[in-house]
Amino acid sequence: NAGVTQTPKFRVLKTGQSMTLLCAQDMNHEYMYWYRQDPGMGLRLIHYSVGEGTTAKGEVPDGYNVSRLKKQNFLLGLESAAPSQTSVYFCASTQDLNTEAFFGQGTRLTVV
C-alpha cells in the first residue's frame, strides 16, 4: 500500500516556466489537499478538493491552479513560476474531515 505519492521529489524551475505536480493516493480518500511549507510559517493550504471533480481555494491560492479529474489524483499547476514560489510542497488526503491526514513525501521546488 503506497499511501500518498508525489511526483517529482525535486525540481528547479526558471522564472516564468510552468510545471505540474502530481499527487496520487491509493486509499480511496475523498478529501485531498495541497500545502506549501516555508520556514517559520507552518503548513499553508493552497487548494483543496472535497471529491472528484471539485476544487476550492485555500489560504494562499494565487499563482496556482488545481484539478481533480480522477478521485485518486490531485494535480497542482504553476503557470508562470516566480521565486516566491520556492518552497516545499506537500499533498495530503483524508477519508473524513475529522480523521488522520496522510501526507506525501514532499516536493522541493526551487525557482531561480
Site for other proteins in 72-91 (CB under 8 A): 90
Instruction: Supply 96's cell numbers.
Output: 473524513
- DSSP assignment, residue 100? P
The stretch among 9-17, 21-29, 51-59, 78-86 that binds other proteins (CB under 8 A) is 51-59
Query: 67 Cβ partners below 8 Å, 6+ apart?
Result: 55, 74, 75, 77
Under rule CB under 8 A, residue 26 binds other proteins: no
> Would you say 28 or 42 has its CB closer to other proteins?
42
Parallel, antiparallel or unpaired: strands 19-25 and 4-7: antiparallel
The stretch among 13-21, 68-76, 78-86, 95-103 that binds other proteins (CB under 8 A) is 95-103
Total interface residues for other proteins by CB under 8 A: 23
Q: How far apart are CA 31 and CA 110, in angstroms?
A: 27
Write down the least CB distance from residue 106 to other proteins, Å. 6
Are 108 and 12 contacting, i.e. CB atoms less than 8 angstroms apart? Answer: no
Instruction: Tell me which residues touch other proteins (CB under 8 A).
Output: 31, 33, 35, 40-45, 48, 50, 56, 58-59, 90, 97-98, 100-101, 103-106
